Amino acid sequence: MRKGDLVRVRMDPASRRRGPMALRPTTPDERAQWYDGFYKRVAEGNISLHGFDSLPKLPPEHTWLELDRNGVYEVLRGRAQPPPSFHGKWSLLLCFKTGRSVWVRREFIEPIPE
């Protein structure tokens, strides 16, 4: 798969589980919302401001998104390096529904024949 190719989700017809998951970066609004909820819980005394190792807790930098089984995606990078701590072979795709780029494991996508 190369840049500009259109791909779809590869699904096992016998599988009844949901579609594969994609990884996308969180938006500044999502991180601000996380901080608001976090500081509210700290003020209520439900959680501590720091973790067990005395480091401050940080919002998630990435979140998971379920891919649409019938969706069509454009390849932005056929071989992309995802964020640290995610291993394997990944591709960077453009999701036409959301307009965001998402990382997907290459084993879950296939090119659309022309």
CA distance 53 to 12: 43
User: Given this model, what pLDDT does residue 67 score?
Assistant: 84
Q: Tell me the pLDDT tens digit for each residue of 9-46.
A: 887 665 556 667 888 888 899 999 988 988 888 888 87
Q: Which residue has the higher pLDDT, 81 or 27?
A: 27
Domain 1-26+64-114 fold is SH3 type barrels. (2.30.30)
Domain boundaries, the chain: 1-26+64-114, 27-60
pLDDT at 93 over 90: yes
**pTM check: above 0.95:** no
Alpha-helical runs (H) found in 1-114? 28-44
Q: What is the pLDDT of residue 54?
A: 63
Give the number of other Cβ atoms within 10 Å of residue 113's Cβ.
5
Q: How far is CA 95 from each of CA 7, 24, 65, 107, rounded to the nearest angstrom?
A: 11, 10, 11, 17
Distance CA 68, CA 62 (A): 19
The chain-wide mean pLDDT, for the chain, equals: 83
